[in-house]
Chains A and B, each alone.
Chain A
Amino acid sequence: MLYAMCFFLFVIGLYCALVKKNMVKIVIGIMIMEYAVDLFLIMLGYRAGGVAPIVGKDEFDAVSGMVKSSFINASVDPLPQALVLTAIVISLGSLSLMISICIRTYEKYGTFDITEIRRLKG
């Protein structure tokens, strides 16, 4: 059910990127798609009643240096979190690139409307 809601959020973003005429709306659609993918990946690693994958002071054996099994059986998946952490920062970089393209286009044509830009181009 929650996975399907994530997918619905993704489809809303895809609709916005495909159908809208405004350039900033297209950028917003791409951002919504990024949020949906991030949420889906984190949900895939969630364990019901789990703890964050950070070892505390009480959760490891001071003699052998190994993590206690109660932590191993309760921790959520750290791998999707690591991948999403890099993806979020990359999304900010690509957002700035897309916004700079939008601003440059507005400087040149005076509008955000992509159909009008196509008409001016000929």
Chain B
Amino acid sequence: MSMFCFFLFFMIFLVIAALIAVHTDNLLSSVICVGAIGFGGSLMFLFLRAPDIAITQIAVEVLGLIILIRATISRDKTFISGQREFFGIVFSVAVLFAISAVGLKGFEDLPEFGTPAFVAAAETQEIVASEDYIEQSLSRTGAANAVAAVILDWRAYDTLGEATVLFTSILGAVVILRKETRNSPETIK
């Protein structure tokens, strides 16, 4: 129960940081609030017993903050207040309420916090993948870290697809940012 209150405190912190990040007009303070969400989330991953993700999140957050600050610093017109047109706001808020109603209905079927979903599923089904991953990761792959065994042995196709997506997104950013195009007059000459 004490862990539950601890996580609740962290979630309230994250929600407050998100509200400030959405509502402030200054872009730099908004970016800093995103950093607060990221580092708070990293601490929360650590207490949720996921040290792999905590390390990755804290390193990714530093890099993401560098990229975001690079985009917002030394720009003149960053103070853009106000909203989009009225009809769009009404429509999007109505969509948000509909999604919230459906989503909160869906949470009733989930097990209590503290009971993993695979334990709840094991009571009705015979085969649950996560139990095998925990039980056989050391004897069948030799890796003590079950997460490494899952992403690089049992579900390595997932990692291959991830490498492809990362390659494609970086390639897209390079193509967008490069200065000279293939048909520019300098290269034709």
A residues contacting B by CB (< 8 A) are: 1-9, 11-16, 18-22, 24-25, 27-29, 31-32, 35, 38-39, 42-56, 60, 65-67, 71-72, 75-79, 81-86, 88-97, 99-104, 106, 110-115
Contact = CB atoms under 8 A, between A and B. Distances in A.
B30 A28 contact: yes
A12 B15 contact: yes
A67 B149 CA distance: 15
Q: Point out which of A67, A82, A103, A104 has the most chain B C-beta atoms below 10 A from its C-beta.
A: A82
Given A2-B113, A93-B169, A104 B176 contact: yes
11 contacts: A9-B14, A15-B93, A46-B113, A46-B116, A53-B133, A53-B146, A78-B130, A81-B50, A88-B56, A96-B173, A100-B177
Contact of A19 (B88, B107, B150): B88
B134 A82 contact: no
Contacts of B145: 53-55
Secondary structure at the A interface, as helix, strand, loop or mixed, is helix
B74 to A, nearest CB: 11
Nearest to B56: A88
B139 A5 contact: no
Nearest to B111: A44
A78 B148 CA distance: 9
A91 to B, nearest CB: 8
Contact of A4 (B21, B107, B119, B144): B107
Given A54-B146, A113-B80, A78 B133 contact: yes
A65 B137 CA distance: 11
B150 A78 contact: yes
Nearest to A83: B158
Given A13-B18, A75-B134, A53 B147 contact: yes
Contacts of B89: 19
Contact of B151 (A27, A85, A96): A85
A80 to B, nearest CB: 8
B80 A81 contact: no
Interface in B145-161: 145-147, 149-151, 155, 158-159
